[in-house]
Amino acid sequence: MAHSIEIHSPFLDWNFFQYAMSLPGEAKIETGKNKSILRESFEKDLPEEIKNIKFKQGLPATDIKIDAKPLMVIKNIVNSGDFKTSSHWNGKKILKDFNSQPDVNNISEIWKLVRLHLMDKGFKERKKETSLNKIKSKEKFNILN
């Protein structure tokens, strides 16, 4: 959470994740209120104080101090094959931007994509683990029966 990378287990269904990522930002944040789809879905059940909350819970995304260690982490990730071939962004262009004389703003923007990449990678790994656990559980169930 220190780097605003969070996994919310109840919403790890891959189809739901893909659907949520495909929605435009305006559908998710309306009039300064986050989770507007959930709020609208449960509008009749939520008290006014919850419906009108406009702040984001959790830790805010923070800028990192650009020194040798974060630069090495960013460099390793933007050079990785899965980052460069991502369907979400032009990894080769980002790598080129990173390798050219980048300024602090450019590095900060690249860092945001790196965080998003790590989050996406975490979701995929968690999905794979969940699928394997389901298979193992089914096998154990079949052995017991």
pLDDT tens figures, 42-97: 888 878 877 777 655 544 556 667 778 888 888 999 999 999 998 888 989 998 88
Per-residue pLDDT band at 11 (split at 50, 70, 90):
low
Does 118 score more than 70 pLDDT?
yes
Tokens coding 83 = 């980052």
Q: Which of 5, 139, 135 is nearest to 64 (CA)?
A: 5
Q: Domain ranges in the chain?
A: 22-58, 61-145
Does 129 score more than 70 pLDDT?
yes
